[in-house]
Structure 1
């Protein structure tokens, strides 16, 4: 679990998202009883390090639209945790992300406006709360932004999102103390991974962020489908 958080912190520290992609399936496989609470503790902590360095680059207007969509999405995600099979949701969302990645790779632009940001926030709220993987929708919308702006904006979004998801899970009785303890024990691995992401961050900022986002979003979708299909 610690190794998966370490690798996820490297990915998210360099690109802007990826923690849920790497760590959520591994933690779910090894100790499903602490999910999704444990990954939300990690998701709340990691953005603090990114914002400490790049908070001035936050796109506050875009963030507002994304949070507007995220609020109802996270409540719906909480209901999914209680009443609906997350397997069906995971397959559906994973397929949607793959289609979006395919269209984008074929030069179909994803406009960044109030509608797309609100929609991305809504989908991220559902999948992030239910499965711990909420980065790809926001990453696709911001793929053409500069690296620092992507990381800072997504960091603030994930910070607020994780806090909201933790509150909803607690309200629904789906946040056991073991989940909080497990998440806290993973934080040292997170810190080391973020520190190790520095060289990769500088490499990707040289015009390579968009490609990295598409690859990571595609792998995330496949991971979500596999996790949902095989449990």
Structure 2
């Protein structure tokens, strides 16, 4: 099996699993799939996962767009725009290994603090800050879910999925433009991302029963578990490759 076939096979399974998680929880595809794709072929990242990040939210929005928290989304995008620009600079000037390790540690810290509290305050400051951090990490690594998801952890299932879906769609669009502008969006990354749309769609379709289960008040716990597991994967991946 050649390298491209390996990426499409194993990477496709990771994207499928990530789409199942994101379809149910509201985020998680980048967290699940980005470490796997990076290990398989770093040259297609983060562009390949951003192609999927741009497409998957449209399926959620098609059915739940009315539940978007537009005010919160505005604050998140306000922080995401400059954060995306910083993320573009990170891709060019800073080692991705150091950034990934930092992301993993910070997500674990956030999960621990959040799990011990009743809820994380959701206001203009926290949402804008989460948007900024998500912009940096999302553009640099393709993983921008945890900061904004932790802010929305106490929201109801449809609202968190719809709001995060709109945020991720706008975020991926900005990241792709920035990556192209700094010369970090090769044709191979776009082609790989397009090929991974098939397992992504399949994963989203499979997530329908999961959504009904999580809407029974289990979204917050699911968000924390996915964030913590993904952070551990990032840390292990970074240490193993350093």
TM-score tier by shorter-chain length is over 0.9
1 CA distance for matches of 2:19 and 2:128? 26
- After TM superposition, give the deviation of residue 153 of structure 1 in Å: 0.2
Ranges in structure 1 where 5+ consecutive residues have no aligned partner: none
2 CA distance for matches of 1:53 and 1:109? 27
Say whether residues 1:185 and 2:186 are aligned partners: no
1 CA distance for matches of 2:151 and 2:67? 16
Match of 1:71 among 50, 58, 81: 81
User: What TM-score do the two structures reach when normalised by structure 2?
Assistant: 0.93
Where do residues 110-121 of structure 1 align in structure 2 (5 Å cutoff)? 110-121=120-131
2 CA distance for matches of 1:173 and 1:191? 28
Q: Which residue of structure 2 aligns with residue 19 of structure 1? A: 29
Say whether residues 1:159 and 2:169 are aligned partners: yes
Aligned residues: 231
Q: Which residue of structure 2 aligns with residue 109 of structure 1? A: 119
Indicate if the aligned counterparts of 2:24 and 2:211 stay in contact, CA closer than 8 A: yes
Q: Which residue of structure 1 aligns with residue 7 of structure 2? A: none
Match of 2:223 among 202, 213, 218: 213
User: What TM-score do the two structures reach when normalised by structure 1?
Assistant: 0.98
Indicate if the aligned counterparts of 1:117 and 1:141 stay in contact, CA closer than 8 A: yes
1 CA distance for matches of 2:65 and 2:229? 28
- Give the superposed CA RMSD: 0.9
Ranges in structure 2 where 5+ consecutive residues have no aligned partner: 1-10
1 CA distance for matches of 2:237 and 2:162? 29
1 CA distance for matches of 2:168 and 2:192? 19
- After TM superposition, give the deviation of residue 178 of structure 1 in Å: 0.6
Where do residues 192-207 of structure 1 align in structure 2 (5 Å cutoff)? 192-207=202-217
CA displacement, residues 105-149 of structure 1 (integer Å, 9 cap, x when unaligned): 112531000000001011111111111111011111000000000
Indicate if the aligned counterparts of 1:15 and 1:204 stay in contact, CA closer than 8 A: yes
SS in 1 for 2:128: helix
